[in-house]
Structure 1
């Protein structure tokens, strides 16, 4: 069954499905409407999760100077931290020879 079984099915949607699928009984049309509704809800949730994940992506904004200063202090050389450099400190530290 659908994830949200407490939601009522739109009568107009059931009637439209029954009209487009003449072999379907009223119960089958309602089941199709619930399945379509669940599919649309899942797509909306997936899109919202993708938008939240894209918005929370870690960047070097504001941190590149402190990381560059740390390299300057430990390796005695000046580097420019590129935006495409890994934001994970351990991964970035392993790639300082390429900066």
Structure 2
């Protein structure tokens, strides 16, 4: 990436350009970190598990319960909140 600051730019304009580029790069870095964190958190999801958990609730007599997507992925924590589903 070639970046040139016009020779006619004042010190304030050059500083503003540098500040804008720095902010942009910092934002991109933060987004990359957040994406990496989200990718790591995918292991803690209900994919394939929440229906099995709903089946267990049904087996113990809590019929008609729907496990919401925002429910805790830890089965013990989710069981403690089952009455709210």
How would you bin the TM-score normalised by the shorter chain? 0.5 to 0.7
**How many pairs align?**
80
Instruction: Report deviation, 1:97.
Output: 1.2
Structure 1 length normalisation: TM-score? 0.52
**Cα deviations by residue, 1:35-63 (Å, 9 ceiling, x for unpaired):** 44332211111222334445545432210
Structure 1 residues without counterparts, runs of 5 or longer: 1-8
- Distance in 2 between residues matched to 1:52 and 1:91, nearest whole Å: 26
RMSD of Structure 2 on Structure 1 (CA)? 3.3
TM-score under structure 2 length normalisation: 0.57
Give the distance between the partners of 1:98 and 1:39, measured in 2 at CA.
44
Matched residue, 1:71: 57
Kindly indicate whether residue 72 of structure 2 is the aligned counterpart of residue 86 of structure 1: yes
Q: Provide structure 2 residue ranges, at least 5 long, that are not aligned to the other structure.
A: none
CA distance in 1, matches of 2:78, 2:21: 45
